[in-house]
Chains A and B, each alone.
Chain A
Amino acid sequence: MNLQEIIVAFFLLVGIFFIITGTVGLLRLPDFYNRIHAPTKATTLGVSSTILGAVIHFYGFPPADGFKELLAILFIFLTAPVGAHMLAKAAYHSKIDLWKDTIVDERAGKRVIGEEKMPSEEKLEKEEEERTPE
């Protein structure tokens, strides 16, 4: 077991630790706003270090190649937060309750734009009852 392998193993283990943390967080945390922290942060880190490990595995340490992989890391760092941000924003907009694990309507009030499709209050309420997932 040479140095390179040790470094690779280290990165991989760190990666998998974060990934499993993210997943467990996703599963165990109590509500959405808590949960969204776990996967975005943890997995971003986890995946990045996994990729680093792979790069070192394939191209040695310090890596001789691996531009593509590093680009991937960059992208993950760029995009994962944006996705999470948008999602949180969406969750906020769809009035997910902050403190309770409420049953949430997935498309309530989306009719702001489509005026002609605006159903009556009554119907909306009724639909809401029907829509309740699970």
Chain B
Amino acid sequence: MISLILHRVTRVIIHILLIFSIFLLLKGHNEPGGGFIAGLMASVSIVLVYLTYDIETVKRFMPISYPAMIALGLFFATGMGLGGVVLGYPFLTQTFDYFQIPLVGEIELATALIFDIGVFLTVVGATLLIISSIGEGS
């Protein structure tokens, strides 16, 4: 049951959606957004792809093992926390600083971003694992 319109539209907006989700991820510290919202956003967009195409296509399009993605996400989140422990701070201590970068100007870099990326990866991995598992279970 293929709908041409759906295919076309999906092909157009999927990129915008994914970019938007990255955008949500990056600005989460200062505006609404953050790892979880971004992760769900990305998942929903990939679900849209699942809805439009079939599982095999998605697999070709994105050859990712979701359990590994979950593991990676947890690794990022925990690893960030352990970094603090190694440096003599409590577990999960965050820090941030402002850097002057030529041309761009002052930007803020926070370790929280690493954590947020971990959240992002885990959420994407888990959500898609759930949905694709059910989809496949048929």
Interface residues of A (CB under 8 A from B): 71, 75, 78-79, 81-82, 85-86, 89, 93, 113-114
Q: What separation, in Å, do the CA atoms of A86 and B12 have in the docked complex?
A: 17
Q: Which residue of B lies closest to A90 (CB)?
A: B1
Task: Flag whether B86 is at the interface (Cβ < 8 A).
Answer: no
Could you say which of B1, B3, B13, B138 contacts A78, with CB atoms under 8 Å apart? Answer: B13
3 shortest A-B CB distances, which residue pairs? A82-B9, A85-B5, A82-B5
Q: Is the CB of A79 within 8 A of B9?
A: yes
**Inter-chain contacts of B3 with A (CB < 8 A):** 85-86, 89
Chain B interface main SS type = helix
Q: What separation, in Å, do the CA atoms of A86 and B138 have in the docked complex?
A: 22
Task: Flag whether B6 is at the interface (Cβ < 8 A).
Answer: yes
- Of the A-B pairs whose beta carbons lie under 8 Å apart in the complex, a sample of 21, sorted by A's number, is A71-B16, A75-B13, A75-B16, A78-B9, A78-B12, A78-B13, A79-B9, A79-B13, A81-B5, A82-B5, A82-B6, A82-B9, A85-B3, A85-B5, A85-B6, A86-B3, A86-B6, A89-B3, A93-B1, A113-B138, A114-B138
**Inter-chain contacts of A81 with B (CB < 8 A):** 5
Q: Which residue of A lies closest to B12 (CB)?
A: A78
Q: Which residue of B lies closest to A82 (CB)?
A: B9
**Inter-chain contacts of B1 with A (CB < 8 A):** 93
**Inter-chain contacts of A82 with B (CB < 8 A):** 5-6, 9
Q: Closest CB-CB distance, B114 to chain A, in whole Å?
A: 26
Q: Closest CB-CB distance, A74 to chain B, in whole Å?
A: 9
Q: Which residue of B lies closest to A75 (CB)?
A: B13
Q: What separation, in Å, do the CA atoms of A78 and B5 have in the docked complex?
A: 10
Q: What separation, in Å, do the CA atoms of A85 and B138 have in the docked complex?
A: 26
Q: What string of 1s and 0s marks CB contacts (under 8 Å) between B4-20 and chain A?
A: 01100100110010000
Q: What separation, in Å, do the CA atoms of A95 and B5 have in the docked complex?
A: 21
Q: What separation, in Å, do the CA atoms of A89 and B13 have in the docked complex?
A: 21
Q: What separation, in Å, do the CA atoms of A31 and B13 have in the docked complex?
A: 32
Q: Closest CB-CB distance, A116 to chain B, in whole Å?
A: 11
Q: Closest CB-CB distance, B129 to chain A, in whole Å?
A: 23
